[in-house]
Structure 1
Amino acid sequence: MEFTAPNAQILTFDRKNHSNETLLKLYESLILPRRIEEKMLILLRQGRISKWFSGWGQEAISIGAVNALQEDEFILPMHRNLGIFTGRNLPLEKLFAQFQGKKSGFTKGRDRSFHFGSIEHHTVGMISHLGPQLAIADGIGLAHKLSKEKKVTLVFSGDGASSEGDFHEGLNVAAVWKLPVIFVVEHNGYGLSTPSEEQFAFKYFTEKGPGYGMEAVRVQGNNVLDVYDTILKLAQDIRENPRPVLVEAITFRMRGHEEASGTKYVPKHLMEEWAQLDPVDNYEAYLESIGVLDAATKESLNHKVKTAINERLEIAFAEEAITPNLEEELADVYAAFSQKVISPEGPNTEKRFIDAISDGLRQSMEKYPNLILMGQDIGEYGGVFKITDGFKAQFGGDRVRNTPLCESAIIGAGLGLSIKGYKAMVEMQFADFVSVGFNQIVNNLAKIHYRWGQQADVVIRMPTGAGTAAGPFHSQSNEAWFFHTPGLKIVYPSNPRDAKGLLNAALEDPNPYLYFEHKLLYRSISGPVPDGYYTIEVGKAALAQEGTQVSIITYGMGVHWAIKAVEEMGISADILDLRTLLPWDQEAVATTVKKTGKVIFLQEDTLTGGIGAEICAWISEHCFKDLDAPVMREGSLDTPVPFAPNLEKQFLPTERFKVKLKELLEF
């Protein structure tokens, strides 16, 4: 099933009732990205830029779409959508600085090409993983719907990227929630060098729409008027009747995936056929044929465009190469936030761990009307652990949202909500399931502020841990997966008071959080918890117990294991509860090490590559002179978590920890 060009050898345009002014505006808008491409290809050959992703032959899709939407409606473009950025009037010198990795670019030299966004221009750029931005569009669309704004969001996908699970999740969520999102698939026949017939077993994407319960429309993507009219009409309708629509734009990429790839894998006749359907040349010829574009106007517009390109390029080239600033690089990993710890007022009530979490979440919902909760079964059912029991009745279905089984899309939607000024809490049914949304966390949430200054105001709650004989897919301790990722913050409370205060603190902070809550603690421990709203200082450890013989550094369930072990063994120990894993409290660690001279790290996570390895290495490097014995650590076996209770008991570190603790004391 070769991707063939339409039978017509020329494009057929219909001006309908568009004025000459509109037709010429589209022309000027269309030639700008083409002329930039022409210039960039010259600069690439000259070695003045390092890489270029071409949209040559596909410009009409971007230009038709960007001109059809209102200026304050978000567009989420891809590699081939230079016209979106130029159509949104981003300063060309800043855009060119971005391409060159200069400081004045949108990412301060931290990312390439179109991997950026600009809230001012209502654009949100892609990451190299392609599919995740569809879910971000869902979140923006949800924000419009919640705010009762009559707005449309438009997001692009290539036909190759449609093979990713994020494509399915993004469309499915939009359909289920009736979100005002236009999904534009640029069907250009190839994913890099892989032709369509090796990507999917259908001919047109319009076959997919009905399967999701949404409309699907096919347009000739090289016909700027066809694209413009289609998007214009859809957007007007969707603003009044919110729902998603799938638009398939048939087109062809006339150059390589990126210039180094070339096009030798494309049959020659295909290149020749599609060259006849060039979107710029054909539209230009049409305007000339109907007397809208004369030679003088054509020359004038092209001169204007080329002059602007050359002038702005000189500005970008004149800028000096970036001088690295260590302080600025580190500071930009997180959105600026100075926590003001809120002390508890009023009485305390004895609460279970689970009730403290629920209490904090409820009070945060009352404090922040823009906080949206999302997760599987969190509505009427109250979540599998009943954390949100009664929340939907209190706060309504708009704010307490049951979701389809699609962790990636819901995390991405949380980021989309954040872009529109909302806060989002996403509940993982079990921490194990977060692997399905891993990319959104480590590549979108964690990096977006560092890349282009956009905060990710999202908290992901993670019911975690073993001890319930739930086997390898409901018992993992996976906090170390994320501990290695700059841009995230991780908290892991061990008691009800901290559970409420740390959750409230995480929800206040505009940075992305992973909030780990041990399932076995939910109903097994209780303690005095302030009834009022309060927060715990993030990044501050606490001594769960004080002693003189040894320092035990731990967190979560490890705190309870340590307390029990020292009691059974008659040991006087400092038990330092980290509480926050990222950033962790180096000062508190150094203080306890200096106090006792002997230290052991205890974690429930498997031993190799765990958080204990990093902190023990730090102690050896920075506190060596204070040590009276080797730094030790203990964790679970380096196996998956087994199901049978006796196997799980062997897997967990409690007995091995006692042996190692005795060894350390006797050193």
Structure 2
Amino acid sequence: MIQPHQNYTRQQAIDLYKHLLLPRRIEERMLKLLRQNKISKWFSGIGQEAISVGVTEALHKQDYLLPMHRNLGLFTTRGVDLYKLFCQWLGKADGFTGGRDRSFHFGVPEKRIVGMISHLAATIPVADGLALASQLRNEGFVACSFCGDGATSEGEFHEALNLAAVWKLPVIFIIENNGYGLSTPTNEQYACNDLVDRALGYGLGGMKVDGNNIFEVMDAIRKARKSALNGTPTLIEAKTFRMRGHEEASGTFYVPDEKFEEWKKKDPIDRFSQWLQAEQGITEKELESIKEEVDSSFLPQLDRALEAEDPKFDLNAEKQRLFSPVIFRNTAEPTSSTSEKRFVDAIQFSLQQAFEEDDDFLIMGQDIAEYGGVFKVTEGFVDQFGKDRIRNTPIIEAGALGCAVGLALEGLKPIVEMQFADFISCGYNQIINNISKAQYRWMPPLNITVRAPHGAGVGAGPFHSQSPEGWFMQHPGLKIVVPATVKDAQNLLYSSLHDPNPVLFFEHKKLYRSIREMTPDQCVPEPLGQAKVRREGHDATIVTYGMGLHWAQDIASAYAEKGFELEVVDLRCLAPLDFETVQQSVVKTNKVLLLQEPSATLGPMSELSSLIMEQCFEHLDAPVLRCSSHDMPIPYNPELEKEYLADARLQETLDKLLAY
């Protein structure tokens, strides 16, 4: 029989039993609704309630919880509004995501709950960010992240655990080892005896507990919380069993019958009720009465949710959820001083001004502290702002980006430096599935800036020269900024840092030290998403951005000597895309060449070409032409690279356009 390590009054014991019983009774009712086709899917936590309830009971109310599919008891024990909870599962308008996401894919900020996404392990690094916020501000709360045994094979699990250990964060990681990742048994998932064995390798504390014994779970969490606040994060493996399928449609045919018989004897609610009867003198009649009381606490809310309204699609309202309004509050005194700056100097200047003005800014990345980053953008920042705000990370991308989500949720303003933009692919999951969709689903605004040195022309080969900015254009919820001038590098970065929404800021490596400009010694914020006409003309329009602007200006100057006046439009931002400025120029010149550094297929200009054909067709005197780099990896040898880049075919393409 299970036994607590502390004394419980009769009422305390009954209250704990109610907390265990409530998610079980709700689940049993939801399974009926599933069979009636009133909900579309259900991931059952029956048999695992002691973990969710025990963890939540043992933690403090200010501690963060980052649950998964089978943690209903966490929500009910934290007192989440049951009507809204039922509406969420039913896809109703009054659900936490208003029908925009399903099941447990939501959070409740006021209850310190950060919801999951389908990509397992993706929210584990978020716990690091929340814990780091606690550590930096000395607020004394911990973050507790859940995952299943299957998710421990994901890269973000390992990155998050390693980062937590290195930074000694107040975080607890809980593995609910229920024996199967969907249908794959644990012996086909990992070769160590227990998953908690991994704790030692990371330098974490480690505990293995009986996940069906609520008292043991609670004792472990109390110890882990104390340890985490003292600088030793803890990995807890809770051994349990999934009494139903991964989700109801998958069934349980792959599980031997004897497994169910074995674990049925360890049912956490049965074990607790036996303890209640043996140690607290609770009778069968009282237990039945408690069950009726628990049912009456949620059934009216469920009935109400079943009758609630479905959401209605309003395109404007849906789009407004993508971004929060931008309000600049620049209180700095105006200055008339200017100085000559290189592109890299302008970026450094912008960061420095923001960091001096607001202590909530911090930057994370590889080698950015004492070394100053591989391009020396943050050189000297450690001496000025300290190691807490200028943070070297291990060689991770996803872990740092997920950490940034947690920091932003706590009101900090994290910047993540990708050492090279090429490496952003290692963090693609976080950017696309956590960050870009966050506010649309349920989160508050995330002030996250991702800096990414991109571009070719420096003989760096196929893994240090890519321009991946176009990869992100099809994912609403991100702003994508690509400056081409020193002044834009300075002001658009400053604007990005103060934008409450996620911004990807691409900095061309070849421009870092090759262009100079006199700029004010003060950053001036402006709204993101405004293109600029860099050169007036009437014979044709070249639309471009980034390095393309310099190619366009050079050829426009050369063709002016031949009597052609070319208009050059610099997009500056790929999202939001200022199509109005492009449209006005096309209507004026009637011919357009779209110039980009990335390869042609699915590059940013492919989208722009479609928009021009759809909305400006009647004003065109020639086909829309694109000039792009070749559809191939970027070669290393400078002669090969020169012929690869779009600039090598710009004159040929322009001549074709003008001759049409």
Q: Which of these residues, 138, 141, 164, is aligned with residue 148 of structure 1?
A: 138
1:604 is aligned to 2:594: no
Instruction: Classify 1:292/1:25 alpha carbon distance in 2 versus 1 (closer, same or farther; 3 Å).
Output: farther
Is residue 537–residue 565 contact of structure 2 (8 Å, CA) maintained in 1? yes
The equivalent of 2:312 in structure 1 is 323
Q: Give the 5 Å matches for 1:51-450.
A: 51-239=41-229, 241-338=230-327, 345-450=335-440
RMSD of aligned C-alpha atoms? Answer: 1.3
User: Which residue of structure 1 lines up, in the alignment, with residue 623 of structure 2?
Assistant: 630
Instruction: Judge conservation of contact 2:227–2:234 (CA < 8 Å) in 1.
Output: no
1:584 maps to amino acid: L
The aligned counterpart of 1:475 is 465
- Describe the SS at the equivalent of 1:471: coil
Greater alpha carbon shift after TM alignment, 40-49 vs 514-523? 40-49
In the alignment, the residues of structure 2 paired with residue 124 and residue 540 of structure 1 have an alpha-carbon distance, to the nearest angstrom, of 34
Offset of residue 389 of structure 1: 0.4
Moved over 6 A (4+): 340-344
Instruction: Percent identity, please.
Output: 49
**Partner of residue 574, structure 2:** 581
- Residue type at the aligned position of 1:314: D
Q: Does 1:646 align with 2:639?
A: yes
Aligned partner letter, 1:585: D
Stretches of structure 1 lacking an aligned partner (at least 5 in a row) = 1-10
Matched AA of 1:425: I
**Unaligned 5+ runs, structure 2:** none
Q: Tell me the CA shift for residue 13 of structure 1.
A: 2.2
Counterpart CA distance in 2 for 1:341 and 1:473 is: 39
Deviations 1:102-127 (A, max 9, x none): 01100010101100111101000110
Which residue does 1:5 correspond to in 2?
Answer: none
Q: Is the 8 A contact 2:2 2:215 kept in 1?
A: no
2:531 is aligned to 541
- In the alignment, what sits opposite 1:26? 16
CA distance in 2, matches of 1:537, 1:352: 23
SS of 1:123's partner is: coil
SS in 2 for 1:117: coil
Distance in 2 (alpha carbons) for counterparts of 1:569 and 1:512 = 40
Q: Distance in 1 between matches of 2:2 and 2:443?
A: 43
Give, as a single letter, the amino acid of the residue that structure 2 aligns with 1:566: A
Amino acid at match of 1:525: I
Aligned match for 2:587, one of 584, 591, 594:
594
Query: Is the aligned partner of 1:520 residue 2:510?
Result: yes
Q: Distance in 2 between matches of 1:495 and 1:595?
A: 25
When normalised by structure 2's length, the TM-score is 0.98
Question: Do 1:342 and 1:536's aligned partners in 2 also have CA atoms closer than 8 Å?
Answer: no
Between stretches 248-257 and 365-374, larger displacement belongs to: 365-374
- Any conservation in 2 of the 1:136–1:413 contact (CA below 8 Å)? yes
Please, which of 597, 602, 621 is the counterpart of residue 614 of structure 2? Answer: 621
Aligned counterparts of 1:312 and 1:588: Cα–Cα separation in 2: 52
The range that moved more, 464-473 or 294-303, is 294-303
Counterpart position of 1:7: none
* Partner in structure 2 of residue 458 of structure 1: 448
Q: Which amino acid aligns with 1:492?
A: V
Inter-partner Cα distance in structure 2 for 1:156 and 1:286: 27
Conserved 8 A contact 1:174-1:244: yes
Mapped to 1, the partners of 2:104 and 2:324 lie a distance apart of 21
How far apart are 1:300 and its partner, in Å? 3.2
Contact 1:539 1:582 in 2 (8 A): yes
Aligned partners of 1:237, 1:297: CA distance in 2, in Å? Answer: 39
- Output the CA distance in 1 between the equivalents of 2:232 and 2:646: 52
Residues 155-213 of structure 1: per-residue CA shift (max 9 Å, x gap): 00110000001110010000000000000001111000000011010121221111001
- Give the CA deviation at 1:373: 0.5
- Counterparts of 1:462 and 1:292, CA distance in 2: 65
Higher mean C-alpha deviation, range 364-373 or range 137-146: 364-373
User: Size of the alignment, in residue pairs?
Assistant: 656
In structure 2, what residue type is equivalent to 1:254? M
Distance 1:19 1:230, change over 3 A: farther
- The alpha carbon displacement at 1:309 in A equals 1.9
Moved more, 181-190 or 320-329: 320-329
Distance 1:20 1:406 in 2: 50
**Structure 1: how far apart are the matches of 2:487 and 2:232?**
43
Q: CA deviation at 1:292?
A: 4.7
**Which position in structure 2 is the counterpart of 1:664?**
657
Q: Determine the C-alpha separation between the residues in 2 that align with 1:369 and 1:162.
A: 35
User: 2:480 aligns to what?
Assistant: 490
